[in-house]
Amino acid sequence: MTTAAAAGEKKAKKPLVGIIMGSDSDLQVMQEAADLLDSFGVPYELTIVSAHRTARRLYDYASAAKKRGIRVVIAGAGGAAHLPGMVAAITPLPVIGVPIKTKSLEGIDSLLSIAQMPPGVPVATVAINGAKNAGILACQVLSISDRALAEKVVKFKQEMEGAVLEKAGRLEDMGVREYLRRGGAKPQARNKQQQ
Ligand code: RP5
């Protein structure tokens, strides 16, 4: 590989999205954002930054993210979920917040902590455990200045539409009982976000 090509590859791998979370207990959910970015070919970094347990690390991460080339931050946290809001308070980058489902309050605590930001400091809040949507939204933000990525986003939406239309066709052809008998419906897929 030529030096120029190597440099190009290195540049291509420079993370554009910073995925952070308050604890490794959030990782299973936040992995869905990473998987989505992988499927779109968007480079990202992923680490743990706790707003309460590592406040100085939070400040350092949020202060340096833009200078390091990060363009969007995805921050997941549960309970008194101050990580996304505090990152948004420090960085000018767009911050997408993922409320993590909690045992005691089912994630309503996380959702309200992340969504109810004061005027002037927005956090784009997705559904409880909605890390996949956070990944999609990050791609959409980046696609504004990346034509190839914009095409992937359009293709993704077209495929989603196609999959629903295909199901609608099968349901209409078969009728409810046959559709269900063949295992056509997967209600657990909708519930996955709330797990
Ligand atoms: C939050 O507290 C984290 O984001 C996590 O969702 C929650 C519980 O953390 P652990 O006690 O599992 O480390 O800061």
pLDDT, tens only, 155-177: 999 999 999 999 999 999 999 99
Tokens of 11: 């540049």
Give the pLDDT score at 193.
53
Task: Answer whether 31 contacts ligand 1 (Cβ < 6 A).
Answer: no
User: Strand (E) positions, the chain?
Assistant: 17-21, 44-48, 72-78, 95-100, 124-125
Ligand 1 mean position, distance from CA 77 (Å):
7
Q: Would you state the pLDDT for residue 2?
A: 44
Q: Is the CB of 23 under 6 A from ligand 1?
A: yes
Name the pLDDT band for 12 (thresholds 50, 70, 90).
low
Kindly indicate the confidence band of residue 76, based on its pLDDT and cuts at 50, 70 and 90.
Answer: very high
Given pLDDT bands bounded at 50, 70 and 90, which one contains residue 184? confident
Ligand 1 centroid from CA 30, angstroms: 13
- pLDDT of 69 strictly over 70: yes
Give the Å distance between the CA of 23 and the centre of ligand 1: 5
Residue nearest to atom 9 of ligand 1 (CA): 23
Q: Are 78 and 104 in contact (CB under 8 A)?
A: no
Sheet containing strand 95-100, edge to edge, reads 44-48, 17-21, 72-78, 95-100, 124-125
**What gap in Å lies between CA 181 and CA 176, rounded to an integer?**
8
**What's the CA-to-centroid distance between 102 and ligand 1, angstroms?**
9
Q: Which atom of ligand 1 is nearest to the CA of 52?
A: 14
What's residue 10's pLDDT?
Answer: 44
Contact 86, 53 (CB under 8 A): no
pLDDT digits (tens, 9 = 90+) for 114-159: 999 999 999 999 999 999 999 999 999 999 999 999 999 999 999 9
d(CA 125, CA 144): 20
Average pLDDT over residues 178-187: 85
Scan for tokens 């990473």, then name that residue. Answer: 34
CA distances from 45 to 66, 73, 75, 190 (A): 13, 10, 12, 28
24-51 residue pLDDT tens: 999 999 999 999 999 999 999 999 999 9
Cα 24 to ligand 1 centre (Å): 8
Average pLDDT in the chain: 92
Ligand 1 near 109 CB (within 6 A) = no
